[in-house]
Structure 1
Amino acid sequence: MYRTGDLVRWLRLPGGGLTLDYVGRADLQVKVRGFRVELGEVESVLSACVGVARAVAVVRADDGAGDRLVGYVVPGVGVDLDVREVLAFAGERLAPHMVPAAVVVVDAVPLTPNGKLDRAALPAPDFAAGRAEYRAPKAGVESAVAAAFAVELGVARVGADDNFFALGGNSLTATGVAARLRESTSTEVPVEWIFTHSTPESLAHRIETREAETVENDGAGSAVEVLLPLRATGSRNPLFCIHPAIGLAWCYSGLVQHVDDDRPIYGINSPALTDPDVRFGSLDDLAHRYVREIRSVQPHGPYHLLGYSVGGQIAHAMAVQLRREGDDVLTLAMMDSRAPSGAEVDGEMPTAARLVAEFGGVELVDEGESDMTTEQAARLLRAKGGLFASLTPDHLDTLYREYQDLVHGALAHRPSTLEGTVVAYFSAATDSDDDHGLDREAGAAGWRKYIIGEVREYRIPTRHEQMTSPQGLSVVGPLLNRHLNLVDRERGAPE
């Protein structure tokens, strides 16, 4: 006797007796996007869904997006399976990183000659479903941009209408694109242009119409405007993403690759970045300004709002105001946004240098650098490169002031009660050491006294600070996308 690693079950034969039915492997543990996944556990949950006769889970490569978890389901006799319902079922019972990125319905699972599952023979999933139809880029700058996208993202081809972030890009890979375009077009391409012109066609047009004499003064340009279009096209109700305490919504760019292509996505930056003299007396005042901003794009509901950290508190206040004005808010999504506990600021505020080091990815060599000026910090960011290299010392001064104001404002804020909105709460599985008096233990429970209605909580296997990292968004993004689609269907919003 020895352990084969095969997972089997006893079946009773019609005429009596028992036989062993091969189910799969008992030791199929894989790693997907840094998380360990037991394929057998995923298969067990998928098989438990009504109408599913058998299920198989495998890992498949998605060009430009790394490995993805895929579920294959065999429907029962006479059953017409809806893969969206299967995914929703799995999302309620599995950890977020174990929910398949796609579900494929098959008539039967392929078997090897000895009766075991032949995973290699399963049909390839269509990860490209819903992406823009391929349109070849024009010769010249447009082709150069598409080629730079393809090389940096590791994809076979990039069309003129393909969105850089939808293909898996982020601020780090955008730096590589800018460097390649500097060589191929002999033009200095600021990284922030990729944020605001994220297809080969639009970025090529921006490069070709650029005025040479204004390049040095272009700064962060429209990337710091209050309303930041991460994806301005689409026929469905937009998703509005409210900045965290740092005042920038750039951290949401990675969501574009996970949210359906026909849904526009807008970030909301702090108004202080373009108007340094503006001040707000409370989070409710700030929320009122942001309601005005989103109405400039979508005059009436239903609305979808998302906020990370303090941004979740602001989004909650916006939802309350929109509901009071008679508009429907289908979604309030909060990413580890903790309710105020009534305590004073817990611990010292980070220095400006420490804040820059955290959001700009700059390593401080020694403690002496923690006292650096914003001019020195700006030079460090320029030397490192990337999107944050475009920020000036004035921008950094403003961001630091805004950070302090927002932390104090969040502690002083007393939320009103929100009713009639489905809340999706994404909580970090591991705590942060930097809570500033917000109730880190309460999680979604801390908000229930301010919310009348359904709160759907999802545990994300990452730290608070990593919620908007590529790894964090690879889990949050698909869950959020399914949530948006589900509430649209439940409430009869256009799809």
Structure 2
Amino acid sequence: MREAVVIARARHEKTLDQQLVAYVTLVAQIDASALREHLSSRLPDYMVPSAFVVLDALPLTPNGKLDRRALPDPQWQSLDEYVAPRNALEATLAQCFASVLGLERVSVFDNFFALGGHSLLAVQLTAHIDAKLGQNISIRELFKAPSVAELADHLNTTPSDMEFDTILPMRAPGEGAPLFCIHPVGGLAWSYAGLAQSIEGNRPIYAVQTPALQQPDYDPATIAEMASDYIARIRSIQPEGPYRLLGWSFGGLVAYEMATQLQTLGETIDQLVLLDSRLPDGHQTHEVDECTLMTAAFPNMSDELTIALRDMQTTSERVDALRANRLIPAYITDRHVMTLIDATQRNMHLQATFAPKRFGGDIVYFTATRSEEPGKPRHVAEWRDRVDGSIVNVDVDCAHADMCQPSSLAKIGTHLASLNVFEESKVAND
């Protein structure tokens, strides 16, 4: 190989997912499969490009820099050896997978999330399957059966409310102490869907989401009360430490409170990971309009849809628009949406009144650099007076709302691996 450049590109213009593409110039002939095999033996899966484009020379601008606009679109392929559908059901599912992912074909053993699937595409996939087969596949089922072959085997299972369980297994069973990912302000934890593919190894990963979807009377008065409840729930999975906790935004505040309470109980916190979680500024929240709450509850909403929702007169119209844009699966009822809106409003209030205790350990903090305000202190600095241990900060080139997009999660997974976050040893100061 003479030269190479790797960039993130979308599979097609209608999807948000970004995948790594390698553009290479070669000294001698070698095919893409050999390149992929070579890199796979040296890198974790999430760092191996999904497509390879061989060029005679890399395109340059007049001043000698890489001309990204001149790079050709790749021919997206499945990641594994292609195995064709073996029956009509697999053929239909494979068509749904390929359509959502923007691929020409999908092997029956390809993993949806390894091919670039994330929470928004997962919702779109369930809608495609429902339209083609009249079957409501839950997000939970997709986590458990992420390939065409596995999903076909599970399709006769009657859907239930299990996808709304407070503890949602994203990668289980596995080896080692699990990672628990706490939901953001909207209450759903589906935004962590791509994390299992971004973190190498087979350590179990669980998402923790609001109990309100199954317990209509769930109404914690403080983040401390919520954290205490979540501790009891994760202990049903892992009775004793050391514990590993991660949270994005509001979820980071809950994870932090859980960590301090667990330490009070005599438990060890092996790692606490905060994804751009910001401390409250001391101002009380006021009533927030329904459109703003919907945007917070469903963070993958486009700017165009956000504007369109404000022109609608009723909640029912807005929920129909969410379904039409495949932001929510068919099995999420109007009641579920209203529950999530109420949970979002409550969580915003809890966030504004949160009073963090001191934490006697280390934190790994990921900063969304595009949401930092020029001339003002960085949000990570707010935590230094509350943490006895070290704080390792990692910059991620994204906005706060995009912290759980595939390209961001890939960088997060890379840094967690490089910092040995999931080893037993402590993280040193950056």
User: TM tier, shorter chain?
Assistant: 0.7 to 0.9
Tell which has more relative contact order, 1 or 2 (C-alpha 8 A, sep 6+). Answer: 2
The answer for the alignment partner of 1:188 in structure 2 is 135
Which residue identity is paired with 2:20?
Answer: G
The number of residues matched between the two structures is 366
Which residue identity is paired with 1:406?
Answer: N
Quick check: 1:303–1:330 contact (8 Å CA) kept in 2? Answer: yes
CA-to-aligned-CA distance 1:438-457 (integer Å, 9 cap, x gap): xx844121111221111100
The answer for the alignment partner of 1:167 in structure 2 is 115
The answer for the alignment partner of 1:488 in structure 2 is 423
For residues 197 and 297 of structure 1, what CA distance do their matches in structure 2 show?
21
Task: Tell me how far 1:486 sits from its aligned partner.
Answer: 4.3
Superposition pairs of residues 349-428 of structure 1, within 5 angstroms: 350-357=288-295, 359=298, 361=301, 363-364=304-305, 369=310, 372-420=313-361, 422-428=362-368
CA RMSD of aligned residues (A): 3.8
Which residue identity is paired with 1:341?
Answer: D
Superposition pairs of residues 82-161 of structure 1, within 5 angstroms: 101=47, 139=87, 141-142=89-90, 145=93, 148-149=96-97, 152-153=100-101, 154=103, 158=107, 160=109
Task: Tell me how far 1:343 sits from its aligned partner.
Answer: 2.9
Of residues 384, 395, 406, the one that matches 1:448 is 384
Task: Tell me how far 1:429 sits from its aligned partner.
Answer: 0.6
Task: Tell me how far 1:341 sits from its aligned partner.
Answer: 2.9
For residues 314 and 457 of structure 1, what CA distance do their matches in structure 2 show?
19
For 1:330, what is the secondary structure of its paired residue? Answer: strand
CA-to-aligned-CA distance 1:229-262 (integer Å, 9 cap, x gap): 1222311222111111111111111212211241
Quick check: 2:276–2:368 contact (8 Å CA) kept in 1? Answer: yes
CA-to-aligned-CA distance 1:146-165 (integer Å, 9 cap, x gap): 564456444876454x5422
Please state if 1:459 is matched with 2:395.
Answer: yes
Q: Which has the larger radius of gyration?
A: 1
CA-to-aligned-CA distance 1:199-221 (integer Å, 9 cap, x gap): 445422331234xxxx7xx5xx3
Structure 2 vs 1, CA of residues 137 and 322 (structure 1 numbering), >3 Å: closer, same or farther?
Answer: farther
For 2:367, what is the secondary structure of its paired residue? Answer: strand
Task: Tell me how far 1:353 sits from its aligned partner.
Answer: 2.2
Please state if 1:227 is matched with 2:173.
Answer: no
For residues 441 and 277 of structure 1, what CA distance do their matches in structure 2 show?
40
Query: Higher mean Cα deviation, 354-363 or 143-152?
Result: 143-152
Of residues 467, 471, 477, the one that matches 2:413 is 477
TM-score, with length taken from structure 2 = 0.72
Structure 2 vs 1, CA of residues 259 and 147 (structure 1 numbering), >3 Å: closer, same or farther?
Answer: farther
Task: Tell me how far 1:425 sits from its aligned partner.
Answer: 0.3
Structure 2 vs 1, CA of residues 244 and 150 (structure 1 numbering), >3 Å: closer, same or farther?
Answer: same
For residues 168 and 251 of structure 2, what CA distance do their matches in structure 1 show?
15
For 1:288, what is the secondary structure of its paired residue? Answer: helix
Task: Tell me how far 1:410 sits from its aligned partner.
Answer: 1.6
By percentage of residues, which structure has more strand?
Answer: 1
CA-to-aligned-CA distance 1:53-78 (integer Å, 9 cap, x gap): xxxxxxxxxxx9432699xxxxxxxx
Please state if 1:32 is matched with 2:7.
Answer: yes
Quick check: 1:426–1:457 contact (8 Å CA) kept in 2? Answer: yes
Which consecutive unaligned segments of at least 5 residues does structure 2 have? 11-17, 25-38, 50-78
Task: Tell me how far 1:143 sits from its aligned partner.
Answer: 6.3
Which residue identity is paired with 2:347?
Answer: L
Task: Tell me how far 1:33 sits from its aligned partner.
Answer: 1.9
For residues 297 and 68 of structure 1, what CA distance do their matches in structure 2 show?
40
CA-to-aligned-CA distance 1:417-470 (integer Å, 9 cap, x gap): 1113x311001112279xxxxxx8441211112211111001111111111122
Which consecutive unaligned segments of at least 5 residues does structure 1 have? 1-23, 36-63, 71-82, 88-99, 104-130, 434-439
For residues 405 and 328 of structure 2, what CA distance do their matches in structure 1 show?
15
Which residue identity is paired with 2:47?
Answer: A
